[in-house]
Structure 1
């Protein structure tokens, strides 16, 4: 079964908009686990516009499912991983000013940098995953740098899904098959929702994990968090 990791950045954004602790980020994470989520994802950006450094450690103490921390591997991020020791570190090539993740790594151009980063992360006993675009060559490059997983950056799939879902998914299937052939485990994330998730899972049945935040939290405003998580889990069975 493909695991669902719930990204709770948007909960932190809402909390931060008024100060205080409403909504309570840790409570939401624990409720998400109770409602069936198999992981919690956060992305503590340098400006702390949503997840704060302190949130990482509050969550680490509280949650019992897999903890996934996304981020650009600068010194600040690496220090967080060294201290928090999550189950998984997901590396994204975002500059600090990025609104959200918007591309995968060039695993050839950035090979030397990523090799060193992944070596350090593995010394902490942390599973490593890197964002890649839907290109089998990028999967080959990822295998060469020693990461454990790749996360398919699925924005273009989501954008093309309603126009021509077969065309939209084709490069993802090819990249996933190459990654699988090379022994890499496989995650996916970005703009996945209740419309497009099931088809992606059907076409890539060996998908290990999806990380979903924005769409899931938006759906929860209408459907409730428990019901929404259950609906997403059904798309993955």
Structure 2
């Protein structure tokens, strides 16, 4: 019994603590372990392909990692004392692309980084955290107009399919997370654009980005990075 307990402890330690949080692990139907290195892949891309003074907007969870590994400046990080600044990022994510563009220009943002788990089935992504972005944004002076109820369906649900609210389908986080996702076949029994986390086929598709352009998407689509265009090059009328 003691031997079995020891083996169990070793397995728990190896499964839970032997790899850093930026390295994810999946187990397939045959019990084989697969390591997903999308975070480091994306941070390396940032370090090697952006200017040293580039400023990155992401949700605060990833701030320390971007600073330490990519060596790039972030707007917010895990030191969450500045509720107003975090709220401004949340407001940008919750706004339409046009409104978010003006906020990003105000904050001198060069790149936007989002975490998207719809391909992998990774539930700790930005869309699952989105309601907190909305709530924090709405709690600040500049974001008082951000209303949580606007992002729910008529049935009071947070959805991403064709029953999602127009505000949800047109906000920046939705458009960046799902950009080109309508081309993806994630489940052979489902249509393209099936989000494996939400269990829904996305409702808004075949749209174009105007103020931003896709710069990098990691191997498993977990990390997506978009470049903010200059005023002269954006396509917003």
Q: TM-score with structure 1 length normalisation?
A: 0.33
**Structure with the greater alpha carbon radius of gyration:** 2
Q: TM-score with structure 2 length normalisation?
A: 0.33
User: By percentage of residues, which structure has more helix?
Assistant: 1
